[in-house]
Structure formats: structure tokens, C-alpha cells
């Protein structure tokens, strides 16, 4: 088993997440690291040579994740593309010594959090790589009825607004 695949990732790395029938969704690494932020686009492709076309489609999934599926070779690094400058940067609530605070994507405190902030933004989330794979398979099987929970890009977009 390969280890430390995250060291190969950089901003803009493309990752193919497969589903049955030789179909793929393309993810793009936005912020690399031992855990990394990735967005997955919604266009199904059947050939990895079409990976750049997928980047023109709406974003379906977004979260911080790990390299587990890369280590298991369930996901495939399939190239790179320029990293978008404007990507989701959700806010989140953090428990600090002074109580709950609302933080921005870069972990800077914005203000003391209230109950409304906890409802709107929630705590910082991350997803294991198998959860991404499960969401892709769910989308393949259910199309628009798929439940992506906190990975859903529409919900993430709401967490970016103040």
C-alpha cells in the first residue's frame, strides 16, 4: 500500500473518482496538505482525456478530506489545472477558551458566535475520502435525489456568506 500520497498533491491537482460503467467525476485540490480541500465537479466523463471539460461544470461537492482513497488506489491522480482563485471559503464556529467564536476559512476570528451562527455555519467539517466516494456513487445511482449532507456545494456556499 502506498503511503503519504498527500505529499504529491498541489493546488490544482486533478483527481478522478470513479463510479460504475467507467464513469468519473473530477475533483480538484484547492488547498494541499496532510488534509486537503477538494471540490468535485458535476459533469460525468467516460474518458480521463475529458477531465478539463468537467471543470467547466458546476461544483457538486466540497470539503476537507484525506488521501486514503488515493493510497488505496480507488482515486486516480489524473493531471492538474490552474487552481481557481475564487473557491468556497466557508465560515465555521470554533470553541475557544473565551467560548464559541465564528472564524473564517483562514481560521481568523470574526466575532463571538451566537446560536444563529451555530445554526447557519456549524462547526468546521471534514470528510473522510470514502465519504466522498460514497457521495459520488449515491449521485451516480440517484442523480438529483442524492443526499450529500455537509459535502453539498449548495450548503457550503451558504456557509461562505456573512
Distant-in-sequence, close-in-space partners of 109: CB < 8 Å, separation ≥ 6? 94, 96, 101, 102, 103
Q: Looking at the whole model, is its pTM more than 0.85?
A: yes
On the question of pLDDT at 1 being above 50, the answer is no
Tens digits of residue pLDDT in 33-88: 999 999 999 999 999 999 999 999 999 999 999 999 999 999 999 999 999 999 99
Grid coordinates standing for 70?
488515493
Range of weakest confidence among 46-60, 64-78, 101-115, 129-143: 129-143
Dist CA 161 CA 155 (whole Å): 11
Quote the pLDDT of residue 89: 97
Q: What are phi and psi of 75, to 5 degrees?
A: -100, 155
Grid coordinates standing for 121?
455555519
Amino acid at each position: 500500500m502506498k503511503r503519504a500520497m498527500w505529499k504529491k498533491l498541489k493546488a490544482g491537482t486533478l483527481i478522478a473518482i470513479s463510479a460504475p460503467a467507467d464513469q468519473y467525476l473530477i475533483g480538484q485540490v484547492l488547498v494541499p496538505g496532510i488534509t486537503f480541500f477538494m471540490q468535485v465537479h458535476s459533469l460525468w466523463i467516460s474518458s480521463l482525456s475529458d477531465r478539463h471539460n468537467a471543470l467547466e461544470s458546476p461544483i457538486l461537492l466540497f470539503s476537507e478530506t484525506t488521501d486514503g482513497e488515493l493510497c488505496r488506489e480507488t482515486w486516480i491522480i489524473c493531471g492538474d489545472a490552474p487552481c481557481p482563485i475564487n473557491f468556497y471559503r466557508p465560515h465555521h464556529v470554533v470553541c475557544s477558551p473565551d467560548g464559541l467564536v465564528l472564524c473564517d476559512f483562514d481560521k481568523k476570528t470574526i466575532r463571538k458566535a451566537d446560536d444563529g451562527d451555530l445554526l447557519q455555519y456549524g462547526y468546521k467539517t471534514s470528510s473522510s475520502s470514502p465519504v466522498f466516494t460514497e457521495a459520488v456513487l449515491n449521485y451516480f445511482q440517484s442523480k438529483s435525489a442524492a443526499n450529500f449532507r455537509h459535502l453539498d456545494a449548495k450548503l457550503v456556499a451558504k456557509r461562505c456568506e456573512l
